[in-house]
Amino acid sequence: MKTLLYSILFLFVAQNTCFASHLYLEKEYQNQWCRQQNGQTEYILNDKTRIDCLTNDYAIEFDFASKWAESIGQSLYYGLCTGKTSGIVLIMENPQKDMKYLNRLNEVAKKYNIKVWTMTPEDMPKQRECRK
């Protein structure tokens, strides 16, 4: 019985504590930015892939800075499928450290006409923030 109580207590605490390695979920950044741009989140293509945010002009992929290379392929594919310009929102939770990823992304983006934006935790509402 004591073990059961400790297990329940642990589950309750775990659900209410932030153990994530990021300050916010990718989806939270996505929802915040896309709403501000009057875009549609999670737009589903015919092949069941999902565009993170679709606006009038852009098909946009969101990724954390360390996943900069993955975001390129996805954004190019989404642009191809929709006829819109490919876009990437690079999430930079540690801007000083993440600048190297942004620089790499910008080099490729120039060559392939990908629009790049960035987000940091400061762009998010202050109501919820977890620490690493």
Dihedral sign, Cα of residue 60, residue 63, residue 68, residue 73: negative
Is position 50 within any domain?
yes
Is position 119 within any domain?
yes
Is position 104 within any domain?
yes
Is position 55 within any domain?
yes
Is position 64 within any domain?
yes
Number of domains comprising the chain: 1
User: In terms of residues, how long is the chain?
Assistant: 132
pLDDT at 130: 53
pLDDT at 127: 61
Is position 5 within any domain?
no
**Per-residue confidence in pLDDT tens, the chain, 132 aa:** 555 434 443 433 344 444 458 888 999 999 999 999 999 999 999 999 999 999 999 999 999 999 999 999 999 999 999 999 999 999 999 999 999 999 999 999 999 999 999 999 999 887 654 544
What residue numbers bound the domain in which 30 lies? 21-123
pLDDT at 126: 75
- The number of helices, as runs of H, and strands, as runs of E, in the chain is 4, 5
Is position 1 within any domain?
no
